[in-house]
Structure 1
Amino acid sequence: MAYTKTTTTSYGQRLSGSLKGIVGGLVMFIAGTCLLWWNEGRAVKTAKAINEAQSVAVHVDDVSSVDPSIDGKLIHASAFADTKDILTDDIFGVRELAIKLSRTVEYYQWVEETKTEKRDKIGGGEETVTTYTYEAKWVGSPVNSSDFEDSEYRGENFVLTNVKDEKQLAPTVTFGGYMLPDFLKAGISGMKPVQVNMTEAQIAEWNKEIRKSLGIDSNDSSNSTTVEKLAREWNRKRNWLQDVGDSTQLVHVKDNVVYFGQSPNSPQVGDVRVTIEKVVPADVSVIAKVNGSTFEDYIAKNGESFSRIEMGTISAENMFQHAHDENNMLTWILRLIGVLLVVGGLKAMFSIVTTLLKVLPFLANIADAGIGIVSGVLGIVWSLLVIGIAWLVFRPVIGIALLVVAVGGIVFLKSRAKKKTQDDVFNATPPPPPTAAR
């Protein structure tokens, strides 16, 4: 059931908030402008570094042994990324030959979600209706429910056990006769489930520890300011233990999942789910600078670093193209973020006009719509101007060419409009002669 809270803001408070909004809007506008400028420079530097790397990279067919003749060179090669290391997760009895071992932990918790609706009042005030809803779902970390608005859900969250996420890399991963450094190991993907085989003794120990962790330590109540909060949590745990009973199995193992709770098929608040996965040896393709028997980043003349690893046997041409594609995608994403910051900043700065008119809500609504349109248009124009100037600085040849095309287009459109006006005047039908009076 939803919980609703209503608050009222006076006209004076709204004006004060709008004044603060001007400052916040200015910060957003400047941040968006700086992001747009920096992004264009970043995109060009990255593209130049990729092109430079592509021009000097050499393909090596065989990397089965260390070749001193390619030391210090940027190479492209494909080989089997292998390891003999055994990675372990002792608390779950896992021992696997793997390049990576990952433990992902999820908690079943009440999560508070809010929906806010604002209503203008005659006289400039504002009524805010906030609706709080609660949903139990799997999340990546325990949720503190002590600050929930609805007292019915406040303090209801707890966890049967706290287990940390963990990611391990094999110390030694070979690439033919070479060793892969950590930054290249991290790029090897393809997670596969690990078969968890916990012993009966381990499961029994986990059951014991969970019940023990749900017990009450009287020393925790020494701080009187937390007594009410702790009492509610203790009661929640006590009730849970009473419902479960002493003989209920609290640890369930299936495939690569360890489940802490009464039933994996019927999750309850407090349950914990641990998933174990691994990355096994596989074929990979690498572009990196050879440094003895290992690799390092290639540093371009502009200071940008470049290296790359992809799964499977991939040609150098395709790998460099993928790098360009990723750079282009990031460029457009950052452009969009920059434009949104600029537009949002302008709207926040102009919001004082809307607030001044809030004494008559219908006028404020008209002004708000107008400000939204104006902010959007000005924001997009400003963003294009910043990007255009950045192109003149970072891509002068393309920037000047585009500027010439743009100016030529404007001149052409103006000349067409002028010619059309002249033609309309020339071809205009003269008015009929006046009729003679009878």
Structure 2
Amino acid sequence: MAYQETKTTGYGTRVSNSLKGIGIGFLLLLGGTALLWWNEGRTVQITQMLEEAQTVAVHVEDVSKPDPSLNGKLIHATAFTQTKDSLNDLTFGVGCVAIQLERKVQYYQWVEHSETETKDKTGGSQETVTTYYYKQEWIGNPVNSQEFKDPDYQNKNFVLMDIENKSYMAENVTFGAYKLPKDLIGSISGTVPMELSLSEERLSEWNRDIKKSFESTSASTVNNTAAVAGETSTIAEGDSVKVETVATTETGQIVKQDYNYVHVNGNVLYFGKNPNNPQVGDVSVTFTKIMPGDASVIAVVSGNNLQSYIAKNGKKLSVLTSGAVSMDEMFETEHLSNSIISWVLRFIGLFLVVSGLKGIFGILVDLLRVLPFLADIVGLGVGLICKVLGLVWSLLVIAAAWLFYRPVTAGILLAVIVVLIAYLVKRGKNNKKAKVLNVQM
């Protein structure tokens, strides 16, 4: 059954909160305005940088050997990424030669959800009813059930193992004959399962420790997620003393190793009784890796290294895309990405401006809360006005930014708009005269 919590806020408190909201509203309005201005400048500068880079970039067919004549040039090439770095997760003894090794942890927990309904009452007070309900689900972090609102669900959560997500990345990765910088290494994609094969001794030891912890917590559920972790020190973060060597399976076949409380299936290490019937406290650890492969790069050659291109306006460019991608396609993608980011930030800026205006004028609505029906009518009008004013203000800021950052383009657009308005006005007058003449005739 759902648990409900009811809170009543008096009229005076609501008006007081609205007064505080005016200050917050001005901050949101200023923040949204600043974001809109900065975003237009950022968009223009990135566009200029990409256009400049396109004029100087050259395609190189073969980068298998260093070419001194390419030093200092911005190049595009497709080659095979390679590394000899061995990546190791010492907590579990998992290792491989790869560009990236990642450990993702999921916990099966009770999770608190809530739904809130508000109702204005005659006299200006407000009643808020919050309904809390609880579901068992997989989640990325342990949940502290001690903070749950419903006492019946408090202290129900625990974990058989408390450990964080972890990612390991190779430091030495080559692209043909050239070494990739860290930011480009991080751009390499193509995740594949890191299949596991653990020693019988290691699995048996884990199974014994987990069973002991499970039995102790099933008798009396712990009141926080750290309590069980203290009892399972042999599998806690950083404890690699008892970890045996783990071999990976490169054949692509799924390796299953089952014990009562520890199960290995391909690249998943599961702690719990039954992976097909998860219980609160169960933990699933998934291992993936990124292997060497073909990639396309736009970067500047510097000796035996690749580095970012620095445009005249100071903006930097270095791009890596997995697979064979042409130079034109990569630049087109960068332009598209710039445009998408620009529009996303514009909408965020507009949202902040409108929210700020609502915060400023919200007191007009709250002052009328003594008569809820009247406050609702005024609220609709204030909301509409704030949206219209917010849109107009945002467009003015964007237009002013374009005049500042691209005066020639903005001037041409402004002239076109003026001419169009003049044409429409003149056409309207001509149509009006024509109608008058038709009536007289």
Q: Same fold (TM over 0.5)?
A: yes
- Tell me which of 282, 296, 309 is aligned to 1:271: 282
Residue 231 (structure 1) shift: 6.4
Q: Which residue of 1 aligns with 2:193?
A: 193
Q: Provide closer, same or farther for how the CA distance between residues 186 and 258 of structure 1 changes in structure 2, counting only shifts above 3 A.
A: same
Cα deviation per residue 1:352-392 (whole Å; 9 max; x = unaligned)? 11101111111111111111111111111111111111111
The C-alpha deviation readout for 1:1-46, integer Å capped at 9, x for no partner, is: 2111111111000000111111111111111111110000000111
Per-residue deviation, 1:212: 5.3
Equivalent in 304, 309, 313 of residue 315 of structure 2: 304
Partners of 1:145 and 1:418 in 2: CA distance: 72
Distance 1:38 1:233 in 2: 45
Q: Determine the structure 1 residue equivalent to 2:105.
A: 105
- Would the aligned equivalents of 2:160 and 2:214 in 1 still touch at CA under 8 Å? yes
In structure 1, distance between residues paired with 2:294 and 2:223: 54
CA deviation vs aligned residue, 1:149-205 (integer Å, no higher than 9, x gap): 111111211111012211111232221111112211111101000111111111122
**Equivalent residue, structure 2, for 1:397:** 408
Deviates more, 1:152-161 or 1:417-426: 417-426
* Aligned residue among 423, 432, 435 for 1:412: 423
Q: Deviations over 1:251-277 (max 9, x none)?
A: 111011011111111111111111100
Q: Does 2:36 correspond to 1:25?
A: no
Counterpart among 351, 360, 371 of residue 371 in structure 2: 360
Map of 1:64 onto structure 2: 64
Does residue 323 of the first structure (1) align with residue 334 of the second (2)?
A: yes
Quick check: 2:144–2:224 contact (8 Å CA) kept in 1? no
- CA distance in 2: counterparts of 1:176 and 1:372, whole angstroms: 59
Q: Are residue 314 (structure 1) and residue 316 (structure 2) matched?
A: no
Give the 3-state SS of the residue equivalent to 1:290 in structure 2.
strand
Q: In the alignment, which residue of structure 1 is the partner of 2:251? A: none
State the secondary structure of the residue aligned to 1:152.
helix
CA distance in 1, matches of 2:285, 2:428: 69
Q: Which amino acid aligns with 2:336?
A: D
**1:412 Cα deviation after fit:** 3.0
Match of 1:388 in 2: 399
How many residues align? The count is 410
SS in 1 for 2:168: strand
How far is the alpha carbon of 1:127 from its aligned partner?
0.6
Q: CA deviation at 1:97?
A: 2.3
Answer yes or no: is 1:154 the counterpart of 2:165: no
Moved more, 81-90 or 102-111: 81-90
Instruction: Please say which of residues 43-52 and 86-95 is displaced more in the overlay.
Output: 86-95
2:357 aligns to what?
A: 346
Cα deviation for residue 407 of structure 1 reads 2.1
Which SS does the other structure have where 2:151 is aligned?
Answer: coil
Unaligned regions of 5+ residues in structure 2, if any? 229-257
One-letter amino acid matched to 1:102: E
The superposition leaves residues 232-263 of structure 1 with CA deviations (integer Å, 9 ceiling, x where unpaired) of 459x97xxxxxxxxx97111110110111111
1:15–1:426 distance in 2 versus 1, CA, 3 Å: farther
Change (3 A) 1:392 1:210: same
User: Would the aligned equivalents of 1:107 and 1:270 in 2 still touch at CA under 8 Å?
Assistant: yes
Q: Deviations over 1:103-142 (max 9, x none)?
A: 1111111221121111010011111111111122111111
Looking at structure 2, the residues matched to 56 and 173 of structure 1 have their Cα atoms a distance apart, in angstroms, of 26
CA distance in 1 between counterparts of 2:166 and 2:305 reads 26
CA distance in 2, matches of 1:83, 1:381: 54
Bigger radius of gyration among the two? 1
TM-score normalised per structure 2: 0.88
How far apart, CA to CA, are the structure 1 residues paired with 2:353 and 2:224?
Answer: 46
Q: Is the 8 A contact 2:158 2:223 kept in 1?
A: no
Structure 2 counterparts to residues 148-297 of structure 1, below 5 A: 148-211=148-211, 232=223, 249-297=260-308
In the alignment, the residues of structure 1 paired with residue 427 and residue 111 of structure 2 have an alpha-carbon distance, to the nearest angstrom, of: 61
User: In the alignment, which residue of structure 2 is the partner of 1:52?
Assistant: 52
CA distance in structure 2 between the aligned counterparts of 1:22 and 1:185, rounded to whole angstroms: 47
Contact 2:366 2:375 in 1 (8 A): yes
Q: Distance in 2 between matches of 1:429 and 1:59?
A: 73
CA distance in 2, matches of 1:282, 1:50: 26
Work out the percentage of aligned pairs sharing the same amino acid.
50
- Quote how far apart the aligned CAs of 1:409 are: 2.8
